[in-house]
Amino acid sequence: MRTLLELLRIIIIFGLLGGLGWAIIGNIYTINETTESYSWFGALAILVLLFILYRNKLQFSGWYKGNGKKKLSKNVSLTLIFTSIILIISPFILGVVNLTVC
């Protein structure tokens, strides 16, 4: 039962915080049509950041009390954060590159 509650908690956390993150950066991608077509990169970046948040902080405050609870290593966390930043910026870069090619 605790596992199901934790799974429900994960779904709610990702839904609410993911929606909030998308509300913040989603409107930024509507600057032009080309950037808007690559906005799924931003959504992927939000999911990666939520994964980092869950693995490093939120998993220790939930209902699940199993053995496999470990934080991500510092190198993995930094790599994933850097990747998320690149994913958030990439629609703008691809939009500029696409405009100059056309």
The CA distance from 51 to 70, in Å, is 13
Q: What is residue 30's predicted lDDT score, i.e. its pLDDT?
A: 86
Contacts of 56 (CB under 8 A, 6+ apart): 71, 72, 77
Whether 48 and 84 have beta carbons less than 8 Å apart is answered as yes
Write down the pLDDT at residue 100: 73
pLDDT in tens, 10-43: 999 999 999 999 998 888 888 878 888 888 999 9
Give residue limits of the domains in the chain: 2-101
Query: Alpha-carbon distance 25 to 39, whole Å?
Result: 9
What pLDDT is stored for residue 44 in this prediction?
Answer: 95
> How does pLDDT run across 46-84, given as a tens digit for each residue?
999 999 999 999 888 877 777 778 899 999 999 999 999
Residue 68: other Cβ atoms inside 10 A: 6
CA distance 44 to 85: 11
pLDDT reading at 90 higher than 90: yes
pLDDT value at position 102?
Answer: 60
